[in-house]
Structure 1
Amino acid sequence: MVRISVPTIPHSIISSATSTKTISPAAAIERIAEFLVPGNVAVITGAGVSVDSGIRAYRGEKGRYLNPNYKPIFYHELMDESPKGFTYRQRYWLRGYLGYKPVKDALPNPTHYALAALQYKSIVPKLITQNVDGLHDKAIAHLWNENTTRERILELHGSLRKVNCKYGHVTERETFQEWLSAANPQWKEYADDLEATNQRPRTNPDGDVDLQGVSYDDFVVPECPSCLLEGKRNSIHKPELIFFGESIRPEVRDRSFHDITTSSRLFLIGTTLATFSAFRLLKHAIELRKPVLHLNVGPTRADGLPGVEKIELESGKVLREVVRTLLGEKVDDDIVVRELLRSGEVRRPREDE
């Protein structure tokens, strides 16, 4: 039996991490702008870019999980048709039911809008995100239609927007949330109370919440109506995102490699690259001898790799000014860019303040 574990940064990197050479925000802005000047830059983002939107990252500045009780459900557990698999789905969907709204309601922060400006100006033709929160889409949705967005932004690990049943029937997540509410009125009341008192449980970037001392036994996972119409009974559902232990679809994997291959350089933002799906893209860029710049706080899987230049700063402190420096006087001439650089609020998770 193949052993599946949660991807993480090797302990040897965390234990041997030393402070990166300090650089002032002003110097960082100049260096990043200089790196982006040639254009045709591919960008890979991670959970760190969404922290300013109130979505807690998996790992903190020391590279370790912020939630020591983090125990995700693996793909094979969620799809298990045995009674044990049913209990896994009860746990997942109760926690996901409570955690979806904080992620759905999150708004793009200045980093998202700065990247939207770079995409709008075609300096960053392709953006690959490991995040499933849809915030990159929200930042540029008023400028691009859905087709353009999907051509320019690749969600490497999927999104929370849709739910698939075992037989392939697709449901919008908002509709599925309504099904969960109708099937679990007691939990809807609990969720409404949390909302009314602004007491949301600790939420992970994938919409999973940390619940302690809670029984999942009474949570009802609804059956798929489309399956019932076909004479089948089925309550096995999965959000349209990649679970630990699940393979990325070949077309997504191939496109991610193509986006790196056709770019001139690679800019990594807010990611520890703990997941191999992202780390292998960095390795691909290095093999192709692309210039690589990494903007992140804390240890990462890329630390010490030849060909990777790292700046240890939060993207929210510099990226908006990077765009202004890069475009110079053109910023004042472009009403769209000006508006993008004025947009975005910072609402960090309470525990991180």
Structure 2
Amino acid sequence: MRISVPTIINSSGAPRRTISPGAAVERIAEFLAPGKATLLTGAGVSVASGIRAYRGKDGRYMNPNYKLRSYLGYPSVRDALPNTSHYAIAALQYASYLPRLVTQNVDGLHHKAIAHLWEPDHIRKQILRTPRNPPLHCKRGHVVPRDAFVDNLEKTGSKLRTNPDGDVDLEGVSYTDFVVPECPQCTLDGQQSSFHKPELIFFGESIPSRIKDRSFHDIEQSERVFVLGTTLATYSAFRLVKHALELRKPVMLLNVGPTRADELPGVEKLEISSSLVLRDVVRAILGSRASQDSAIVHLLQSGIHQPPAPDHEIVSRNT
């Protein structure tokens, strides 16, 4: 089966319209200050946590050996820490300015950023996403925890000595030697099954109805939609923006680079990185509370900023 990976074509050819951080802070704060906003996030939000986005010259779609490198890169994603944008978003959630969050990301960083303030049940009500560290299923339906699966991969001899940083070429590695382990339960049952799939939505698959319905409900219950760090290349995200526009809700999009919504009337786009502005947006909206509420103060003082190095820098270090 052939799966077409969504891409973004900058058909207009118009130059990017950048905005100064100060002007962006003022405009975003004005947009979010009324509250009752739904936030839609994508991979761009997690770049400052060291996780590459999907598109762009250093994105993961430039990677022809996704399965092996996904295995190699899993620990770094699993252990990634929230960045300043995640914590700024958490501050706005905590202050009730972003009561609903729909994320395309599976890194769990939105949850990590606010886990010390909210109970798990409350987080599940406020943040819609696919499971973090989802288990895998073999073709016979047996469940294998993700960490256990990675351990089994290492036992097959597929563990490599090299610990790559990003999607660089792995010199001296034979991808044909990568061995996928058999399902433990199938082996006990006298069956063979090395076909595994995580509980994630792959390209070409449909989103479960409960997730689709919940995401549409979140858009419908909001008064405005704030889109952050996504090209909206996948239709499941793009249609949420279209739905908001059909309901005549204001939509603001914050992203660096072209997106699928650039030509849509009614979408206000700001070409700037969230890490440059979101903390100041929180301070502008909350005023004195940003310095007096201990929980908000802690959130605004938290977060890493460790974006992955460009591939050409990694290659030069390894040569």
Normalising by structure 1, we get a TM-score of: 0.82
Counterpart in the other structure of 2:211: 252
Counterpart in the other structure of 2:63: 70
1:94-115 superposed Cα distances (whole Å, 9 cap, x missing partner): 3222110121122110000001
Distance 1:44 1:212, change over 3 A: farther
Counterpart in the other structure of 1:76: none
Residue of structure 1 aligned with 2:47, choices 23, 44, 51: 51
Give, in whole Å, the separation in 1 of the partners of 2:273 and 2:31: 17
Instruction: Give the stretch that moved more between structures: 265-274 or 132-141.
Output: 132-141
> Would you say the 8 A contact 1:160–1:241 is kept in 2?
no
> How does 1:144-183 map onto structure 2 within 5 Å?
144-155=118-129, 159-183=132-156
Give, in whole Å, the separation in 2 of the partners of 1:45 and 1:153: 11
> Would you say the 8 A contact 1:159–1:241 is kept in 2?
no
Structure 1 residue 202 corresponds to structure 2 residue 166: yes
> How does 1:99-110 map onto structure 2 within 5 Å?
99-110=73-84
Counterpart in the other structure of 1:304: 263
Instruction: Give the Å deviation of 1:68.
Output: 7.0
1:280-306 superposed Cα distances (whole Å, 9 cap, x missing partner): 110000001111011111111111211
- State the SS of the aligned residue for 1:217: helix
Give, in whole Å, the separation in 1 of the partners of 2:117 and 2:92: 13
Counterpart in the other structure of 2:32: 36
Structure 1 residue 18 corresponds to structure 2 residue 52: no
Give, in whole Å, the separation in 2 of the partners of 1:251 and 1:210: 39
1:156-202 superposed Cα distances (whole Å, 9 cap, x missing partner): 5x544422222333332112111111122xx33x24x53xxxxx242
Counterpart in the other structure of 2:7: 8
Instruction: Give the Å deviation of 1:230.
Output: 4.6
Give, in whole Å, the separation in 1 of the partners of 2:116 and 2:61: 39
> How does 1:84-103 map onto structure 2 within 5 Å?
92=67, 94-103=68-77
Unmatched runs of 5 consecutive residues or more in structure 1: 74-91, 195-199, 204-208
Unmatched runs of 5 consecutive residues or more in structure 2: 314-319
Counterpart in the other structure of 2:224: 265
Counterpart in the other structure of 1:333: 292
- State the SS of the aligned residue for 1:316: helix
Report the aligned-residue RMSD. 2.3
Question: What letter corresponds to residue 124 of structure 1 in structure 2?
Answer: L
Normalising by structure 2, we get a TM-score of: 0.90
Instruction: Give the stretch that moved more between structures: 112-121 or 164-173.
Output: 164-173
> Would you say the 8 A contact 1:44–1:129 is kept in 2?
yes
1:69-89 superposed Cα distances (whole Å, 9 cap, x missing partner): 43477xxxxxxxxxxxxxxxx
Give, in whole Å, the separation in 2 of the partners of 1:67 and 1:147: 32
